A = this chain, B = another copy of it.
């Protein structure tokens, strides 16, 4: 089940960058949930390309069509399938890439794995694949909302520019989705500078899940944080994940890192809201590292299909920084993990 994620709230995605359509089948959504189609579309719009100067120039309407699973505005318990058509393919841009492996991309590894690859726009390995995740994540968010749970994410760092604070009301007010307006300006500037050089830049995203009741997560392999790590690293370009104090825990003593419990709750949150893999009721907090976009027009050394050394500049329409557009994908994946564990927790007790 290579393209399926989740156990009870279970999604299966399909689609390539330049094929007929992308989509997702959501299986396991409980019956009776109001499906706010406008909300799902608004989430798609957040991920959609072509929105600002810091993202790719490819324009896709990303209009969703719900194919099944909804009746009179409510989920029916049957699979909810969502499709979105590709409309703005310019596959011609990629013809010259049929025979060469772009550095940092999955071209070489797909060829090795399958012996065949849809090279147009990266095919299945394109970031466009995440559109289906965002659609599914929007449905997961609707389910979570019903139970008082919400998910949010923001850009915390681009290159070496860090947000000094997070004002969550600012996230959608700037193109980099940063909660610190002045850092946001500097980040946008850095991204444009890199773009002008034909280069790219990485960054860090922070995610939070609020309102999680204690008891979600399975104690051994499917720990809440383990599933989050799985979910986040499954997003193309993500290179690291940490929960709570994360890598800084390595330098801590137990007396600093343990979170004291009091009658009014945990005094700190070094654990990131998860103890022994199970949610504690504290906010679930995590961070992920995003690499710089691999598609750059700077000259690079690589191989062609025959093993000859060649040099290339990668053309096409690309984001000089993936971070802002990955923010809604991070939210979607976090929502999917949480929704799944919420349903799984229903069978933990008699």
Q: Which of A44-52, A55-63, A166-174, A217-225 contacts B (4 or more CB under 8 A)?
A: A217-225
Q: Which of B112, B123, B277 contacts A106 (CB 8 A)?
A: B277
| 1/0 contact string of A22-41 vs chain B (CB within 8 Å) | 11010110111100000000
Partner of A31, one of B129, B261, B348: B348
Least CB distance from A293 to B in Å reads 5
CA distance A231 to B226 in the complex (A): 7
Query: B13, B118, B275: which contacts A105 (Cβ < 8 A)?
Result: B275
Copies in the complex: 4
Asked whether, in the complex, the Cβ of B214 is within 8 Å of the Cβ of A108, the reply is yes
- Of A202, A259, A274, most buried by chain B (CB within 10 Å of CB) is A202
Distance of A80 Cα from B66 Cα, bound (Å): 19
Per a CB cutoff under 8 Å, which of B200, B227, B236 touches A230?
A: B227
Quick one: which of B2, B202, B277 contacts A28, CB cutoff 8 A?
Answer: B2
Contact A4:B27 (CB < 8 A) given known A229-B230, A309-B262: yes
**Which A191-213 residues have a C-beta within 8 angstroms of B?**
194, 199-204
Contact A78 B3 (CB under 8 A): yes
Interface pair B31/A260, CB less than 8 Å apart = no
Query: Does A347 make an interface contact (CB < 8 A)?
Result: yes
Most central of A123, A255, A258 by chain B CB within 10 Å? A258
Residues of B within 8 A of A30 (CB): 347-350
Using Cβ atoms and an 8 Å threshold, which residues of chain B touch A87?
none
Residue from B32, B124, B233 in contact with A223 in the complex, judged by beta carbons closer than 8 Å: B233
Contact indicator B249/A292 (Cβ below 8 Å): yes
Task: List residues of chain B with CB within 8 A of the CB of A21.
Answer: 67-68, 81
- Distance between Cα atoms of A291 and B254 in the complex (Å): 8
Contact A350 B109 (CB under 8 A): no
| In the complex, chain B residues whose CB is within 8 Å of the CB of A158 | 250
Given A240-B247, A350-B31, A234 and B222 contact (CB-CB distance below 8 Å): yes
Give the residue of B108, B146, B245, B345 whose beta carbon is less than 8 angstroms from that of A261: B108
In angstroms, how far is the closest chain B Cβ from the Cβ of A312?
Answer: 11
Of A240, A289, A301, the most chain B CB neighbours within 10 A belong to A240
Measured CB to CB, the closest approach of chain B to A127, in angstroms, equals: 11
With CB as the reference atom, state the residue of chain B lying closest to A85.
B67
Does B345 lie within 8 Å of A103, measured CB to CB? no
B residues near A324, Cβ cutoff 8 Å = none
